[in-house]
Amino acid sequence: MLILAIESSCDENSAAVIVDGRLLAVETRTQTVHQPYGGVVPELAGRSHLELVDEVVQSALKTAQIQARDVDAIAATAGPGLIGSLLVGLNYARGLSNALSRPFYAIHHVEAHLWSAELSEGLLPLPFLVLLVSGGHSQLIRVDRLRCYHIIGSTLDDALGEAYDKVGKLLGLSFPCGAEVDRLAQRGDACRYRFPTAMNDSSTNLSFSGLKTAVAYKIRDIGIEEAVTYKCDLFASFQDAALTAVLLKTKAAVQTVMPKAIVAAGGVAANSELRARLKAFADKQCIPCFLPSIQFCGDNAAMIGYLAWKLLVNDEITTLRPLAKPRWPLEQLMSETTSE
């Protein structure tokens, strides 16, 4: 079964070819048009998808050394995400599926993140706990099996990736800032500036907006000159407070869920310090820890094609009308029928 997949929910243009659950090719481009704005500009994201969707698809097909007519099915992200961006990928996929007379499968973006570690790590033991941390999501989710998910905790305000982006922006980094903050923090001293751990209790919810404000106040107090001079220390101190909270909540969730594995997902799962801390924590608890390889952490079409294949072989999906769903709660997936 050869699946062509497209991901266009936000600011990554991505296409992939999956054969029987194995990745043949993936082409992912992070849009650079948003760099001056400190965040994703929806209109620009949609336009960029329009410009690049055909190019990334053709590039993935070329790397896989196949023609479009060789594919057995086409899958695309249907939501949640930016409406303009989703529509581009979905309509492209619909056009292709009509032209080639192949079935189309609509995929839930967050559900695809949940299973993304299987692309590099193989089948995960059930039930597992996913720490999903990206620019739009920060959640702890228990996965009992396909289509059976329970949200154990969520951020009450900003997502973790959003906090990295906002703190990076305060010191002039260009968007998205997470990877650069990660790199600079590795050289920093996390003890120079101390920030409080948000929601330092046994609940499983997260919060990052207070920390972001605390960093902004610290920069105001010490002055921009000192802040720039010691930016590595500032980033290391911010990261230490943010990840201390993340690990605290993961620990609380593990106590509630008693999972067979701890799994990371989403763009921030690429963070070197988060990976090290999560692994060390899981080792201490004697629970296996699965970290997707870096290319499968952020948004990518490989996870979309992989989930489509997994749903297909488990008879959990039928071909759908390609409706874009900018809001599509994960909980809804379990209650809705797969055919519309």
- Segment near ligand KG4 (CB under 6 A), from 67-75, 197-205, 261-269, 320-328? 261-269
Residue 15: closest CA among 300, 218, 288:
300
Q: How many CA atoms lie within 13 A of 261 on its CB side?
A: 22
Residue 312 or residue 324: which is nearer to ligand KG4 going by CB? 324
Residue type present at position 276: A
Residue 182 or residue 299: which is nearer to Zn ion going by CB? 299
Residue type present at position 302: A
Residue type present at position 39: G
**262 touches ligand KG4 by CB under 6 A:** no
**208 touches ligand KG4 by CB under 6 A:** no
Rounded distance, CA 94 to CA 34, Å?
A: 27
- The tokens for 60 are 């993935």
**298 touches ligand KG4 by CB under 6 A:** yes
**11 touches Zn ion by CB under 5 A:** no
CA-CA-CA-CA torsion sign (35, 39, 42, 46)? positive
Residue 133 or residue 171: which is nearer to Zn ion going by CB? 133
- Segment near ligand KG4 (CB under 6 A), from 97-105, 150-158, 268-276, 310-318? 268-276
**164 touches ligand KG4 by CB under 6 A:** yes
Residue type present at position 32: T
Pattern 277-316, binding to Zn ion, x per CB under 5 A? Answer: ----------------------x-----------------
| H helix or E strand, kind and range, residue 28 | strand 22-30
**292 touches ligand KG4 by CB under 6 A:** no
Paired strand residues for 149: 143
Residue choice 89, 153, 267, 292 for contact with ligand KG4 (CB under 6 A): 267
Name the burial class of residue 79, with classes exposed (0-12), middle (13-18) and buried (19+) by CB atoms within 10 angstroms of its CB.
buried
- The tokens for 321 are 């009308």
Backbone angles phi and psi of 24, in degrees to 5: -95, -40
**134 touches Zn ion by CB under 5 A:** yes
Residue 165 or residue 299: which is nearer to Zn ion going by CB? 299
Residue 254 or residue 301: which is nearer to Zn ion going by CB? 301
Residue 334: closest CA among 133, 86, 111:
111
- Segment near ligand KG4 (CB under 6 A), from 128-136, 229-237, 255-263, 318-326? 128-136
Contacts to Zn ion by CB under 5 A: 134, 299
Residues that bind ligand KG4 (CB under 6 A): 10, 12, 134-136, 161, 164-165, 176-179, 182, 266-268, 270-271, 298-299
